[in-house]
Structure 1
Protein backbone atom coordinates (compact mmCIF):
# COMPACT_ATOMS: atom_id res chain seq x y z
CA UNK A 1 0.00 0.00 0.00
CA UNK A 2 1.44 3.35 -1.02
CA UNK A 3 1.68 6.25 1.37
CA UNK A 4 -1.18 8.58 0.44
CA UNK A 5 -1.76 12.06 1.74
CA UNK A 6 -5.27 12.73 2.93
CA UNK A 7 -6.61 16.22 2.36
CA UNK A 8 -9.29 17.32 4.78
CA UNK A 9 -11.23 20.46 5.53
CA UNK A 10 -10.73 22.00 8.98
CA UNK A 11 -12.75 20.21 11.63
CA UNK A 12 -14.04 22.29 14.52
CA UNK A 13 -15.15 19.55 16.90
CA UNK A 14 -14.21 15.92 16.88
CA UNK A 15 -12.65 13.23 19.01
CA UNK A 16 -9.45 13.57 16.96
CA UNK A 17 -9.31 17.30 17.66
CA UNK A 18 -9.76 16.63 21.39
CA UNK A 19 -6.97 14.03 21.28
CA UNK A 20 -4.80 16.51 19.34
CA UNK A 21 -5.34 19.20 21.99
CA UNK A 22 -4.75 16.74 24.84
CA UNK A 23 -1.46 15.56 23.35
CA UNK A 24 -0.38 19.16 22.68
CA UNK A 25 -0.79 19.84 26.40
CA UNK A 26 1.17 16.66 27.15
CA UNK A 27 4.17 17.51 24.96
CA UNK A 28 4.06 21.14 26.16
CA UNK A 29 4.54 19.88 29.74
CA UNK A 30 7.26 17.50 28.53
CA UNK A 31 9.23 20.26 26.81
CA UNK A 32 8.99 22.53 29.85
CA UNK A 33 10.21 19.68 32.08
CA UNK A 34 13.17 19.15 29.74
CA UNK A 35 14.30 22.75 30.24
CA UNK A 36 14.96 21.75 33.86
CA UNK A 37 16.37 18.26 33.15
CA UNK A 38 18.85 19.06 30.37
CA UNK A 39 21.03 21.39 32.49
CA UNK A 40 21.51 18.50 34.97
CA UNK A 41 22.71 16.34 32.07
CA UNK A 42 25.12 19.07 30.98
CA UNK A 43 26.50 19.29 34.54
CA UNK A 44 27.06 15.51 34.66
CA UNK A 45 28.53 15.15 31.15
CA UNK A 46 32.30 15.15 30.73
CA UNK A 47 32.63 15.12 26.94
CA UNK A 48 32.90 18.63 25.51
CA UNK A 49 31.00 17.52 22.38
CA UNK A 50 28.22 16.02 24.49
CA UNK A 51 27.96 19.15 26.62
CA UNK A 52 27.66 21.24 23.45
CA UNK A 53 25.04 18.88 21.96
CA UNK A 54 23.00 19.06 25.15
CA UNK A 55 23.23 22.86 25.26
CA UNK A 56 22.08 22.92 21.64
CA UNK A 57 19.21 20.58 22.54
CA UNK A 58 18.21 22.92 25.38
CA UNK A 59 18.09 25.84 22.95
CA UNK A 60 16.03 23.75 20.51
CA UNK A 61 13.69 22.75 23.36
CA UNK A 62 13.05 26.42 24.09
CA UNK A 63 12.29 26.95 20.37
CA UNK A 64 9.94 23.96 20.45
CA UNK A 65 8.07 25.48 23.41
CA UNK A 66 7.64 28.69 21.42
CA UNK A 67 6.34 26.76 18.40
CA UNK A 68 3.92 24.82 20.61
CA UNK A 69 2.58 28.11 21.96
CA UNK A 70 2.05 29.19 18.36
CA UNK A 71 0.23 25.91 17.62
CA UNK A 72 -2.11 26.54 20.56
CA UNK A 73 -2.67 30.08 19.29
CA UNK A 74 -3.39 28.78 15.77
CA UNK A 75 -6.27 26.67 17.11
CA UNK A 76 -7.54 29.46 19.39
CA UNK A 77 -6.56 27.69 22.60
CA UNK A 78 -4.55 28.88 25.57
CA UNK A 79 -1.18 27.13 25.90
CA UNK A 80 -1.63 24.88 28.91
CA UNK A 81 0.39 21.95 30.13
CA UNK A 82 -0.84 18.55 31.28
CA UNK A 83 1.58 16.31 33.13
CA UNK A 84 3.29 13.90 30.76
CA UNK A 85 3.84 10.64 32.60
CA UNK A 86 6.07 9.31 29.82
CA UNK A 87 8.49 12.25 29.94
CA UNK A 88 8.45 12.24 33.72
CA UNK A 89 9.55 8.60 33.56
CA UNK A 90 12.26 9.28 30.98
CA UNK A 91 13.64 12.13 33.09
CA UNK A 92 13.56 9.98 36.23
CA UNK A 93 15.40 7.23 34.35
CA UNK A 94 18.03 9.75 33.20
CA UNK A 95 18.54 10.87 36.79
CA UNK A 96 18.93 7.26 37.94
CA UNK A 97 21.45 6.55 35.18
CA UNK A 98 23.53 9.60 36.11
CA UNK A 99 23.47 8.63 39.81
CA UNK A 100 24.49 5.02 39.18
CA UNK A 101 27.24 5.49 36.56
CA UNK A 102 30.86 6.22 37.20
CA UNK A 103 31.92 9.70 36.15
CA UNK A 104 33.43 9.97 32.68
CA UNK A 105 32.65 8.12 29.49
CA UNK A 106 30.32 5.64 31.23
CA UNK A 107 28.16 8.47 32.55
CA UNK A 108 28.32 10.18 29.15
CA UNK A 109 27.13 6.95 27.49
CA UNK A 110 24.26 6.80 29.98
CA UNK A 111 23.34 10.42 29.31
CA UNK A 112 23.35 9.71 25.58
CA UNK A 113 20.96 6.78 25.85
CA UNK A 114 18.66 8.84 28.06
CA UNK A 115 18.85 11.76 25.61
CA UNK A 116 18.12 9.55 22.63
CA UNK A 117 15.11 8.01 24.38
CA UNK A 118 13.78 11.51 24.98
CA UNK A 119 14.47 12.51 21.38
CA UNK A 120 12.68 9.47 19.98
CA UNK A 121 9.69 10.10 22.22
CA UNK A 122 9.56 13.66 20.88
CA UNK A 123 9.86 12.49 17.26
CA UNK A 124 7.00 10.02 17.73
CA UNK A 125 4.80 12.63 19.39
CA UNK A 126 5.48 15.46 16.97
CA UNK A 127 5.12 13.16 13.96
CA UNK A 128 1.72 11.96 15.14
CA UNK A 129 0.58 15.46 16.06
CA UNK A 130 1.61 16.68 12.61
CA UNK A 131 -0.44 13.90 11.03
CA UNK A 132 -3.46 14.74 13.20
CA UNK A 133 -3.14 18.41 12.26
CA UNK A 134 -2.97 17.50 8.58
CA UNK A 135 -6.09 15.32 8.79
CA UNK A 136 -7.87 18.07 10.73
CA UNK A 137 -6.90 20.65 8.10
CA UNK A 138 -4.91 22.74 10.58
CA UNK A 139 -2.37 24.01 8.07
CA UNK A 140 -0.56 26.46 10.36
CA UNK A 141 -0.20 23.75 13.03
CA UNK A 142 1.13 21.35 10.37
CA UNK A 143 3.88 23.82 9.41
CA UNK A 144 4.85 24.53 13.01
CA UNK A 145 4.95 20.86 13.96
CA UNK A 146 6.91 19.98 10.82
CA UNK A 147 9.53 22.57 11.81
CA UNK A 148 10.03 20.71 15.07
CA UNK A 149 10.60 17.30 13.50
CA UNK A 150 14.36 16.95 13.44
CA UNK A 151 16.58 13.90 13.64
CA UNK A 152 19.01 13.23 16.46
CA UNK A 153 21.94 12.55 14.12
CA UNK A 154 24.36 14.83 15.98
CA UNK A 155 23.89 12.96 19.25
CA UNK A 156 24.30 9.64 17.43
CA UNK A 157 27.70 10.66 16.01
CA UNK A 158 28.92 11.75 19.44
CA UNK A 159 27.51 8.55 20.94
CA UNK A 160 29.66 6.30 18.78
CA UNK A 161 32.96 7.68 20.06
CA UNK A 162 31.83 7.88 23.70
CA UNK A 163 30.35 4.38 23.67
CA UNK A 164 33.66 2.97 22.39
CA UNK A 165 35.51 4.79 25.21
CA UNK A 166 33.04 3.45 27.78
CA UNK A 167 33.44 -0.09 26.47
CA UNK A 168 37.21 -0.08 26.78
CA UNK A 169 37.20 1.87 30.04
CA UNK A 170 39.16 4.96 28.96
CA UNK A 171 38.29 8.36 30.37
Structure 2
Protein backbone atom coordinates (compact mmCIF):
# COMPACT_ATOMS: atom_id res chain seq x y z
CA UNK A 1 0.00 0.00 0.00
CA UNK A 2 1.24 3.46 -0.86
CA UNK A 3 0.83 6.00 1.91
CA UNK A 4 -0.21 9.37 0.49
CA UNK A 5 -2.06 10.71 3.52
CA UNK A 6 -2.74 10.22 7.20
CA UNK A 7 -5.97 8.51 6.20
CA UNK A 8 -3.94 5.85 4.37
CA UNK A 9 -1.90 5.28 7.51
CA UNK A 10 -5.09 5.21 9.59
CA UNK A 11 -6.69 2.49 7.47
CA UNK A 12 -3.47 0.46 7.42
CA UNK A 13 -3.19 0.64 11.18
CA UNK A 14 -6.85 -0.28 11.64
CA UNK A 15 -6.23 -3.37 9.51
CA UNK A 16 -3.09 -4.21 11.48
CA UNK A 17 -5.02 -3.88 14.74
CA UNK A 18 -7.81 -6.08 13.38
CA UNK A 19 -5.24 -8.76 12.55
CA UNK A 20 -3.61 -8.38 15.96
CA UNK A 21 -6.98 -8.85 17.65
CA UNK A 22 -7.77 -11.88 15.51
CA UNK A 23 -4.53 -13.54 16.60
CA UNK A 24 -4.93 -12.47 20.24
CA UNK A 25 -8.45 -13.88 20.37
CA UNK A 26 -7.28 -17.39 19.55
CA UNK A 27 -4.32 -17.15 21.93
CA UNK A 28 -6.56 -15.85 24.73
CA UNK A 29 -8.95 -18.75 24.24
CA UNK A 30 -6.01 -21.13 24.71
CA UNK A 31 -4.79 -19.23 27.78
CA UNK A 32 -8.27 -19.37 29.32
CA UNK A 33 -8.43 -23.12 28.77
CA UNK A 34 -5.04 -23.54 30.49
CA UNK A 35 -5.78 -21.31 33.50
CA UNK A 36 -6.36 -23.15 36.76
CA UNK A 37 -7.72 -20.20 38.76
CA UNK A 38 -11.47 -19.83 38.13
CA UNK A 39 -11.42 -16.04 38.39
CA UNK A 40 -8.53 -15.83 35.94
CA UNK A 41 -10.28 -18.18 33.56
CA UNK A 42 -13.46 -16.08 33.67
CA UNK A 43 -11.44 -12.86 33.17
CA UNK A 44 -9.73 -14.37 30.12
CA UNK A 45 -13.08 -15.52 28.73
CA UNK A 46 -14.35 -11.95 29.20
CA UNK A 47 -11.19 -10.83 27.39
CA UNK A 48 -12.13 -13.01 24.42
CA UNK A 49 -15.53 -11.31 24.28
CA UNK A 50 -13.88 -7.90 24.51
CA UNK A 51 -11.49 -8.78 21.69
CA UNK A 52 -14.42 -9.93 19.56
CA UNK A 53 -16.27 -6.69 20.27
CA UNK A 54 -13.18 -4.74 19.24
CA UNK A 55 -12.88 -6.76 16.04
CA UNK A 56 -16.52 -6.05 15.22
CA UNK A 57 -16.02 -2.32 15.76
CA UNK A 58 -12.84 -2.29 13.68
CA UNK A 59 -14.53 -4.31 10.93
CA UNK A 60 -17.31 -1.73 10.63
CA UNK A 61 -14.89 1.21 10.58
CA UNK A 62 -12.59 -0.38 8.01
CA UNK A 63 -15.45 -1.40 5.72
CA UNK A 64 -16.86 2.11 6.05
CA UNK A 65 -13.72 3.29 4.29
CA UNK A 66 -14.14 0.75 1.49
CA UNK A 67 -11.28 -1.42 2.72
CA UNK A 68 -11.02 -5.06 3.75
CA UNK A 69 -10.39 -5.80 7.45
CA UNK A 70 -8.14 -8.78 6.76
CA UNK A 71 -5.91 -7.03 4.19
CA UNK A 72 -3.02 -6.79 6.69
CA UNK A 73 -1.23 -9.44 8.78
CA UNK A 74 0.22 -8.21 12.07
CA UNK A 75 3.68 -9.71 12.47
CA UNK A 76 4.15 -7.93 15.80
CA UNK A 77 1.26 -9.80 17.40
CA UNK A 78 2.40 -12.99 15.69
CA UNK A 79 5.63 -12.82 17.70
CA UNK A 80 3.83 -12.04 20.96
CA UNK A 81 1.45 -14.95 20.40
CA UNK A 82 4.38 -17.29 19.75
CA UNK A 83 5.92 -16.15 23.03
CA UNK A 84 2.63 -16.77 24.84
CA UNK A 85 2.45 -20.26 23.40
CA UNK A 86 6.05 -21.06 24.33
CA UNK A 87 6.06 -19.56 27.83
CA UNK A 88 2.50 -20.04 29.09
CA UNK A 89 1.32 -23.17 27.31
CA UNK A 90 4.22 -25.31 26.10
CA UNK A 91 6.54 -24.81 29.09
CA UNK A 92 6.72 -27.50 31.74
CA UNK A 93 4.96 -26.36 34.92
CA UNK A 94 4.90 -28.28 38.18
CA UNK A 95 2.76 -25.65 39.90
CA UNK A 96 -0.58 -24.40 38.53
CA UNK A 97 -0.25 -21.04 40.25
CA UNK A 98 3.08 -20.41 38.53
CA UNK A 99 1.49 -21.17 35.16
CA UNK A 100 -1.37 -18.78 36.00
CA UNK A 101 1.18 -16.04 36.77
CA UNK A 102 2.83 -16.63 33.39
CA UNK A 103 -0.56 -16.66 31.66
CA UNK A 104 -1.29 -13.21 33.08
CA UNK A 105 2.13 -11.97 31.95
CA UNK A 106 1.67 -13.19 28.40
CA UNK A 107 -1.90 -11.94 28.17
CA UNK A 108 -0.86 -8.49 29.36
CA UNK A 109 1.84 -8.35 26.68
CA UNK A 110 -0.83 -8.92 24.04
CA UNK A 111 -3.08 -6.34 25.69
CA UNK A 112 -0.33 -3.74 25.76
CA UNK A 113 0.22 -4.18 22.02
CA UNK A 114 -3.51 -3.60 21.51
CA UNK A 115 -3.43 -0.53 23.77
CA UNK A 116 -0.71 1.01 21.62
CA UNK A 117 -2.67 0.22 18.46
CA UNK A 118 -5.95 1.64 19.73
CA UNK A 119 -4.20 4.73 21.06
CA UNK A 120 -2.60 5.45 17.69
CA UNK A 121 -5.73 4.94 15.61
CA UNK A 122 -7.72 7.04 18.07
CA UNK A 123 -5.28 9.91 17.60
CA UNK A 124 -5.48 9.51 13.82
CA UNK A 125 -9.29 9.46 13.85
CA UNK A 126 -9.37 12.65 15.92
CA UNK A 127 -6.87 14.40 13.63
CA UNK A 128 -8.94 13.34 10.61
CA UNK A 129 -12.11 14.73 12.26
CA UNK A 130 -13.72 11.30 12.34
CA UNK A 131 -15.51 11.94 15.62
CA UNK A 132 -17.83 8.93 15.70
CA UNK A 133 -15.00 6.59 14.77
CA UNK A 134 -12.81 8.14 17.45
CA UNK A 135 -15.56 7.55 20.03
CA UNK A 136 -15.88 3.92 18.97
CA UNK A 137 -12.12 3.41 19.10
CA UNK A 138 -11.86 5.15 22.47
CA UNK A 139 -14.53 2.78 23.83
CA UNK A 140 -12.41 -0.17 22.67
CA UNK A 141 -9.32 1.46 24.17
CA UNK A 142 -11.01 1.98 27.54
CA UNK A 143 -12.33 -1.59 27.62
CA UNK A 144 -8.84 -2.86 26.83
CA UNK A 145 -7.41 -0.78 29.68
CA UNK A 146 -10.05 -2.26 31.99
CA UNK A 147 -9.02 -5.79 31.00
CA UNK A 148 -5.40 -4.92 31.72
CA UNK A 149 -6.32 -3.53 35.14
CA UNK A 150 -8.29 -6.69 35.92
CA UNK A 151 -5.24 -8.83 35.18
CA UNK A 152 -3.02 -6.61 37.31
CA UNK A 153 -5.49 -6.92 40.19
CA UNK A 154 -5.62 -10.71 39.86
CA UNK A 155 -1.83 -10.92 39.80
CA UNK A 156 -1.11 -8.54 42.67
CA UNK A 157 -3.98 -9.62 44.91
CA UNK A 158 -3.51 -13.34 44.86
CA UNK A 159 -2.03 -15.25 41.97
CA UNK A 160 1.52 -13.93 42.27
CA UNK A 161 1.45 -14.52 46.03
CA UNK A 162 0.28 -18.09 45.50
CA UNK A 163 2.94 -18.63 42.81
CA UNK A 164 5.69 -17.38 45.13
Q: Compute the TM-score of the two structures, normalised by the length of structure 2.
A: 0.88
- Structure 2: segments with no counterpart, 5+ residues: none
- 1:82–1:70: structure 2 CA closer, same or farther, 3 Å change rule? same
Paired residue secondary structure (1:97): helix
Distance in 2 between residues matched to 1:73 and 1:100, nearest whole Å: 40
1:166 aligns with 2:156: no
* Offset of residue 14 of structure 1: 4.2
Match of 2:140 in 1: 148
Match of 2:113 in 1: 121
Could you give the per-residue CA deviations for residues 61-84 of structure 1, whole angstroms, max 9, x where no partner exists?
110011001211333333334111
* Offset of residue 18 of structure 1: 1.2
Match of 2:58 in 1: 68
1:100 aligns with 2:91: yes
1:56 aligns with 2:53: no
1:110 aligns with 2:106: no
Q: Mean alpha-carbon deviation: is it higher for 100-109 or for 43-52?
A: 100-109
State which structure, 1 or 2, has the greater radius of gyration over its C-alpha atoms.
1
Could you give the per-residue CA deviations for residues 69-102 of structure 1, whole angstroms, max 9, x where no partner exists?
1211333333334111111111100111122241
Off by >4 Å, runs of 4+ in structure 1: none
Q: Does structure 1 conserve the Cα–Cα contact (< 8 Å) formed by 2:17 and 2:74?
A: yes
Q: CA RMSD in A?
A: 1.5
Q: Does structure 1 conserve the Cα–Cα contact (< 8 Å) formed by 2:24 and 2:110?
A: no
Q: Compute the TM-score of the two structures, normalised by the length of structure 1.
A: 0.85
Q: Does structure 1 conserve the Cα–Cα contact (< 8 Å) formed by 2:25 and 2:48?
A: yes
Q: Does structure 2 conserve the Cα–Cα contact (< 8 Å) formed by 1:27 and 1:125?
A: yes
Paired residue secondary structure (1:149): helix
* Offset of residue 130 of structure 1: 0.3
Q: Does structure 2 conserve the Cα–Cα contact (< 8 Å) formed by 1:109 and 1:159?
A: yes
Distance in 2 between residues matched to 1:129 and 1:63, nearest whole Å: 16
Paired residue secondary structure (2:69): coil
How many residues are aligned here? 155
Please state which structure has a larger fraction of its residues in helix. 2
Q: Does structure 1 conserve the Cα–Cα contact (< 8 Å) formed by 2:10 and 2:124?
A: yes
